[in-house]
Structure formats: structure tokens, C-alpha cells
Structure 1
Amino acid sequence: MEASLVPRRSLICWVLTFGVLWLSSKVQAQSAPCTTPTRQDGLCVAIHRCRNIYDIVQNPTPPPIGIANYIKRAACTLPGVERAICCQPQEVVPEPTISSAKIDLLPKECGQSVTDRIAFGNVTQVFSYPWMALLRYNQNGEIIDGCGGSLINNRYVLTAAHCLKTRSTLKLVQVRLGEHTRNQDIDCNIYKDKYGEEIERDCAEPVEDYQVESFEIHPDYNRPKYSNDIGLIRLDRDVVVKYHIRPICLPVTPQLRLKQFERYIVTGWGTTENQTGSQVLLEATVPRVNNDECQQTMLQNRLNVQLSDKQMCAGGSGKVDTCRGDSGGPLGFSTDLNGPRFIQFGVVSAGVDSCGKKNVPGIYCRVGSYMDWILDTIRP
């Protein structure tokens, strides 16, 4: 029998009414009407929810006197909030609504190194970045190394969408964890005395290869071009935490979602300044570039990119940049999350082909803007 559509107008009306009432109660609990120092209607919210003001107070450089006075005059009182501010409504960041059950799918023990493809990068130590993942592809019957990624829990790897949506002759088939030096079976830190004689070595267990059970690409990837460049890989079995295989932390709190640093650390095996893939995992410290400045640089170099607040820029200064092969890898920094943890704030997305030959920043997908999507997508 042929199926037919059934009107659901009454159900929709009930859902919408309930939703509006629920949202109204949530907003009232999280904010209150106020008047800004410029006599405009505003909302009194926790300062971390006021995007433009929080960006200023998080900057290590003191703001100009005029702006500092504005922030002081914009202070307001909100029950249960230590520091609140009267914020322009368009700058208010919604509080996350993800349930604690979803948050629990991400590990609390993350972002920890066991030890106390980057142009002009530094060679890393074994165990320094145990969350690094190496994506491997089948190209005409040959297994080749490609993008990077990061282990975020016992079943999922975070990467770039363009690393998953590949041409028909290039198919993602494997994810390698615990890798450091690609052309060695066993990776070791070797310690020598002042005469150059080896006195000790600390070796990791062999790498572990996982098959790809499935993957998810953000539904709005590449709309517009280069935007929403984020994806998730579900591995074929659970990952057992070891010294050389551990998950990275994600910005799970509202404060971390908005937090910015003056510099970040990016890691990968990708193309170096010599245009060859590195056998050893490299790291580089890259300066943050604000989006307005980054957009201007892109236009000056005739790059057709329209940045959004879900993207961020870093690098370019001193010809330090990420290159092809670093795509999907993590951009992060160490900060406090129940103690010092390395937290991933960006996913390597796009950049110029110069690989550090020009001072052009790289573009990163801002992880904090996609936490709801990540938590909605992953499953036990």
C-alpha cells in the first residue's frame, strides 16, 4: 500500500510553543536585560559569553584606557555569576545545551604527555604528542600516508573534512596510532653522555593500525569554500590507552571554547621546507593572527577565501607554516582543565602551496565552534 503524508500541524505547534517557553526560561536564567555604557539595550551575561569583550580581557596586552574604562562601566550583576558584563546581544555566545551523558563520551584523562608536516619545525620527542594519528590511504592498490588527525576518545579521531572526502582513486582505509618516526619499527628516545656515548634509551611499543568503521563529514563542509572543514573517524575497535597512545583534550567548557592564545603548537609529518615529507613527527610554534588581518593577507595574495568566526588563522610569520600532509592535524596549547592539559583548539584546514616561503597564515577550523556537532555525532 502506498504511504501518504499525514499533517502534523498541531504537533508542530505544541513543540514550538514548548520550545519557546523552555528557551525563554533558559535565557532568563542565563542573562538579564541591561543598558550598555553607550545607552543601548544589552544583556547581562557571564563575561566569557560576551565574545568581543572576552577577546579583549583574554589578551595579555592591556587594552587602551578608553576600552578598559568601557569594560569597567559595563560591569553588571547576575545571580550566581562571579563576573558579568552588559553585552551587545549580537555578541552573546549561547551556553552549550549538551547533556552530561554526551560530555562523558570524552575522556577526563586527556592531553597528557608522558615526557616532561611542519615547515621550519622542530623534531619532537617520542611520547610528546601521543594523540597524533596518521591517516593512510589506498591509492591504486598501494597504501600511502596522507593526512593527520588526533585521537579524542577510545573510538574516534578528529580530522579535516577534506581528508575524508577524497577523489575516487584515493580511499581512506587505515588510521595509525602511536607513530613517531615513520621509517622505524621501534621509536626510542636515546640519551647520551657528554662524550656522545649512549647511556640509556626509552622505547615505545609498536604502532597500532586501525581500520575505518565509518566516518562523518560536517554537513556544511565547503559551503562556502574551505568552511566547516571538520570530520570524525570511527575506528573499528576500542583503543587501549598506553604510554604512546593517549587522547587529546577538547575545549569542552564555555570558557575554553572562546579562549585565545598569542601562539599555538601544531604538529605533523607533512611537507617540510625542502618539499619532502618528514619521517619524524615535527612541531612548530605559530603565532595567532586575528581574522581581519588574516582576511586582508588572503586578499593581498589573491586567495579566494571568506573567513568566518568558525575559522582561525595562525602562522605565516617568519615563514613558519603548515604544509600539505599536515591537513587534519591538531593545533593546540597547554592550559588549565582540571590541571595543565594540552587542548586542541584548531584543525589544520587550508593554506597556500608555498609551505612557509611566503608569510601567509594557515587557516584552521575552530574546534570550539563545533563542540555541539562533535558531541552530537560521536556514540559509545
Structure 2
Amino acid sequence: MQMDLLLLLLLLLLGNCAAVILDRVDGGRVPRVVGGQRIEVNTQPHMVNIRRRGDFQCGGSLVSPRCVLTAAHCLQAQEHQPADYVVRGGVTYLRDMRNARYVNRILLPSGYNRSTLDQDVALLQLQNPLQGAHIEPIRLARQAPRAGSYVRISGWGLTDERSRQLPNQLHSVQVKVLSRPKCQQLYQGYRNLTASMYCASVAGHKDACDADSGGPAVNAEGQLVGIVSWGRADRCAREDSPGVYTSVPHLYDWIAHNMRRYCH
């Protein structure tokens, strides 16, 4: 009994430490799905989760059987090697350990800035193709989403800003793209909104927040139009704190060029 109690206390301590690390990843919050609903992965078959040495790090999108797109800040530590990371696809539940593929190569754009999160995108080349049931690559969007349009985000991130427990089941929600002037106004004095970024949320109801970074934003045509990137620390689904996404169309040329080289 005493040993069980000590083990429980140790696990709680480790959990608290993990939460601190997550919050420090990008100097703000690491997005999660708020106000969404549970889904099965067959409705979003491009969805993958990325782990480092067994620990969940971020979401991602399968863009070919050999390659995954995610956020660069998910892979920021210089000492981490590609083989430290494993990608899993075709799974609805985070604790489902099937369909694992090791990462062979990590590619970041030369314009990625760790401080500003400009061009926050990474292309992961897998050691072996990721294929199977409920696994399907997603097409890339070439046109930026219009203000007022909706995109769908998905992930295993926290579902409430007060919670520290990741859900086991995949969640998804639709959020509304904000105009660029509106987004710049909301984040004035906090962080600069670069050309590679856009904002989306449903204020007070739906948003991305902790532990969903790197996950997909999908347009009405079923194309990958964004990557969950950042937001204001400890605020989710609030009127003054929309989620910020890396624009896939803005970085389309870099992504397509490297996919031709490494993803076939």
C-alpha cells in the first residue's frame, strides 16, 4: 500500500512537470480543441500523433505515405534526433499504440523563427510508408482561407483551459477565420502576426488550445489550409485570444518542393 502511494505521488509530480514543459514550448500556449466533439479517425484519416521517446508531443497531417506536416516548434530542441520521434496514424485513441513509423528526416524552412514563430512548419520524412485502414494523405490547399469562412481542426489536446488531462479520444471542431486587421488588432503588443499566419476561432465557444499544436486546419474542400501554431498563454476560446495558424498556401512552394525530393 505504501509503495502504491509513493508511485501515485511520483506520477502526479511527473504530470505537473510535463504541464510546465508544454506551456513553455512557444512562449505562449500550445493549442488544444475547445468546444469540439469526439470523432473517429476515419472521418479525418490524415490525422496523426507525434511522440518523442514515447511521450505525446503534437498532432500532424499525413501529406503522403512517407511524409507528415506539423509545426516546427514541436521539434525545436537541437539535441533531438529524427529517430527520437515516432508518428502514429489510423488511431482514434491516443493510447492506441498501433501503426507506428519512425522519423527519418526533419526539414524546416530557412525562414523559421523560433521566437516569432514565423513559418512555423516542419516536414517529417518517415523511415517507412504509413499505410493501412483509416489512413489517407490529405491534399494541400493553394488558396488562403477567406475571412468569415470555416476550417475544421482536430486533435487530442486539452478540451478546457482549466484542465491538465489529455483526452484519450480524438476531438474536432469548426472555427471561423478572422480578418487580418482584426487578428492584428487583438494581438497588438503581444506578438507580431506575420504573412505566414492567420487567426481563427469562435469567440467564447470554440478554439484550439494546449497540446494540439501541429494539427491540421482543413477547409470545406477537404484540403489542408493551416497548421495549429500558437495563441495567448492560458486563454482559449476567448474573444481577445483567437488561435493562430501557419498558412499552408503561404508556404506551399517550400512544402511542394521538399515533398518532391523526399516524399516519394
Question: TM-score when scaled to structure 2?
Answer: 0.79
Q: 1:282 to 1:372 in 2, by over 3 A?
A: same
Q: Give the equivalent residue in structure 2 for 1:123.
A: 38
Contact 1:265 1:285 survives alignment (8 Å): yes
Q: 1:150 to 1:184 in 2, by over 3 A?
A: closer
What is the deviation of 1:310?
A: 2.0
Ranked by relative contact order (alpha carbons within 8 Å, sequence separation 6 or more), the top structure is: 2
Are 1:314 and 2:200 an aligned pair? Answer: yes
Are 1:210 and 2:137 an aligned pair? Answer: no
Give me the whole-angstrom Cα distance separating, in 2, the residues matched to 1:282 and 1:183.
Answer: 14
What is the deviation of 1:236?
A: 0.3
What is the deviation of 1:297?
A: 0.8
Letter of the 1:324 partner, please give it.
Answer: D
What is the deviation of 1:223?
A: 6.9
Letter of the 1:317 partner, please give it.
Answer: A
Larger Cα-atom Rg: 1
Contact 1:164 1:217 survives alignment (8 Å): no
Give me the whole-angstrom Cα distance separating, in 1, the residues matched to 2:113 and 2:49.
Answer: 23
Q: 1:261-308: per-residue Cα shift (whole Å, max 9, x none)?
A: 621110000122033211110001111111211111112xx51x1112
Contact 1:221 1:229 survives alignment (8 Å): yes
1:1-380 equivalence runs, <5 A: 117-138=32-53, 143-166=54-77, 168=79, 172-184=84-96, 207-222=98-113, 225-240=116-131, 242-251=132-141, 256-260=142-146, 262-273=149-160, 274-299=163-188, 302-303=189-190, 305-335=191-221, 342-356=222-236, 358-359=238-239, 360-378=241-259, 379=261, 380=264
Question: TM-score when scaled to structure 1?
Answer: 0.56
Give me the whole-angstrom Cα distance separating, in 2, the residues matched to 1:174 and 1:280.
Answer: 19
Q: CA RMSD in A?
A: 2.1
What is the deviation of 1:170?
A: 9.4
Q: Secondary structure at the match of 1:134?
A: strand
Contact 1:316 1:356 survives alignment (8 Å): no
Q: Which ranges of structure 2 fall in alignment gaps of 5 or more residues?
A: 1-31
Q: 1:374 to 1:126 in 2, by over 3 A?
A: closer
Contact 2:144 2:247 survives alignment (8 Å): no
What is the deviation of 1:259?
A: 4.6
Aligned length: 225
Letter of the 1:292 partner, please give it.
Answer: P
